[in-house]
């Protein structure tokens, strides 16, 4: 905190010259740096008793008229204004009505591909290739997503925590079919 001279005359000149809106602004106009302490704020208030009223009037002058005032936005809303939200990418694979996953998600796309294969099913390597081309993911990450869906098979011991209920996977070696509950 820097030493500043607190005289009623200097405070009044600061109030009239720049129309400060807070005690901190008055402190800065007087040459103060750093934070305004509570003790110093009390001394400023004691030197000029009507300072709070003047500061409130200065705030009122700078504000927009009532019909032009915009509501305050949260930081999340301000970020949303800066860049638009991504819309879910439309898939070329038709959505199955019994699919328990969110539309546009990777898991949902795998379930839709399995459902599209129908009763005859699809081979695991073919499914990975189709999923990779439809989602734009590399094959390694496609295998990770597929592992979650395959945890719903009747032969698996434990279902993955990200896998939803409502279907089961029927496996015959590397051939996969889906059965909705």
Asked if residue 31 is part of any domain, the answer here is yes
Range of the domain at 125: 106-180
Tell me if 51 is assigned to some domain: yes
Q: Are 111 and 168 in the same domain? A: yes
State the Cα torsion 144-154-166-143 to the nearest 10°.
10
* Contact criterion met (CB below 8 Å) for 51 and 26: yes
Whether 118 maps to a domain, the answer reads: yes
170 and 118 fall within a common domain: yes
For 85-141, the pLDDT digits (tens) are 555 566 778 888 888 888 888 999 999 999 998 888 899 999 999 999 888 899 999
**Same domain, yes or no, for 56 and 110?**
no
The answer as to whether 15 is a domain residue is: yes
Phi, psi of 75 (to 5 degrees): -65, -35
Q: What is the pLDDT of residues 2-48, one digit of tens each?
A: 577 788 888 888 888 888 888 888 888 888 888 888 888 898 888 88
- Give the Cα separation of 32 and 161 in Å (integer): 58
Q: Is residue 20 part of a domain?
A: yes
CATH number at residue 146: 1.10.10
* Cα-based distances in Å from 118 to 111, 123, 178: 11, 12, 8
Structure tokens at 164: 């939803």
Answer whether residue 168 is part of any domain: yes
Whole-structure pTM value: 0.50
Evaluate whether residue 72 is within a structural domain.
no
The count of domains in the chain is: 2
Q: Which distant-in-sequence residues (6+ apart) come within 8 Å of 13 by Cβ? A: none
In a domain, 82, yes or no: no
């Amino acid at each position: 905190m820097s030493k500043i001279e607190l005289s009623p005359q200097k405070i009044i000149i600061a109030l009239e010259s720049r129309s400060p809106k807070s005690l901190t602004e008055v402190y800065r106009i007087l040459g103060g740096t750093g934070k305004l302490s509570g003790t110093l704020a009390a001394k400023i208030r004691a030197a000029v008793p009507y300072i709070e009223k003047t500061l409130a009037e200065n705030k009122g002058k700078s504000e927009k008229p009532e019909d032009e005032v915009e509501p305050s936005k949260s930081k999340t809303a301000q970020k949303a204004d800066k860049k638009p939200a991504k819309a879910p990418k439309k898939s070329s694979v038709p959505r199955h009505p019994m699919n328990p996953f969110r539309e546009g998600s990777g898991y949902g796309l795998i379930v839709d591909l399995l459902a599209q294969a129908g009763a005859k099913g699809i081979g695991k390597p073919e499914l990975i290739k189709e999923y990779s081309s439809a989602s734009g993911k590399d094959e390694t990450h496609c295998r990770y997503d597929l592992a979650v869906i395959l945890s719903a098979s009747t032969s698996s011991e434990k279902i993955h925590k990200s896998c939803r209920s409502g279907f089961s996977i029927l496996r015959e070696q590397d051939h996969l079919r889906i059965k909705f509950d």
